[in-house]
A and B are shown apart, each in its own frame.
Chain A
Amino acid sequence: MLYIEKKDYDKILKHATDGLPNEACGLIAGTADGEEKYVREVYLLTNIDASNEHFSMDPKEQFAAVKDARAKGYELLGNFHSHPESPSRPSEEDKRLAYDSKANYLILSLEDREHPVLHAFLIDENKNVTENPIVIR
């Protein structure tokens, strides 16, 4: 289970909406109690691909976020990106480029702009996908 506060969800949503028509991306950090993960910080990163079909995070921003999270005593819980025109599920490219089996991969679909959908997934070494339920509170 992944717990995220409404204000952090709103931050992700605004970043994704502001980034349209392109995909937006970022990192999430927080605390963990076994399988229960609590998002405490959201980092809004630049999609250096500037594309509505692809994203790559800026490594320098990624590094700065990791350092900041650590300084606050948080661990990196995963990342997020938006799908402007497709559902909230990992694409073949998302799976192919998922190299960290411990990370939560959050995908925010803006396919229906009035009803955004956010899901989190775990992707193992064999590219098997498991949904990790999200609680927005």
Chain B
Amino acid sequence: MKLTVAGKKKEVKDGITVAELIEEEQIENPLYVTVTVNEEFLQRDDFETTKLKDGDEVEFLYFMGGGSVR
């Protein structure tokens, strides 16, 4: 099936989960990545169980934060 991942079309196995896609895409520091599917934010606890469907649009967003304390 086909997905759009970070704006690019990708062919992936049917029924791939979000967790599997994160692994396949070799996302750096996956613990700090937020995922949207068709513009909906997913809960981290759902990554393992959420199966993607043909045509889904997936985005990975890194948590971005920091501070000026030494």
A interface with B by C-beta (< 8 Å): 23, 25, 27, 49, 51-57, 59-60, 62-63, 66-67, 70, 79, 81, 83-86, 90-94, 97-101, 103, 105, 125
Contacts and interface: CB of A to CB of B under 8 A. Distances in A.
Interface residues of B, number: 20
A70 B6 CA distance: 9
Contact of B69 (A66, A91, A125): A91
Given A53-B69, A56-B65, A59-B34, 9 more contacts: A27-B64, A49-B65, A54-B69, A55-B67, A79-B64, A90-B66, A92-B69, A93-B68, A99-B33
17 contacts: A23-B68, A51-B67, A53-B67, A56-B65, A57-B65, A62-B61, A62-B64, A63-B61, A67-B59, A70-B7, A84-B68, A92-B70, A93-B66, A94-B68, A97-B65, A97-B67, A103-B62
A86 B68 CA distance: 7
Interface of B: 7, 28-29, 32-34, 36, 39, 41, 59, 61-70
Label chain A's interface by main secondary structure.
mixed
B19 to A, nearest CB: 17
A104 B22 CA distance: 22
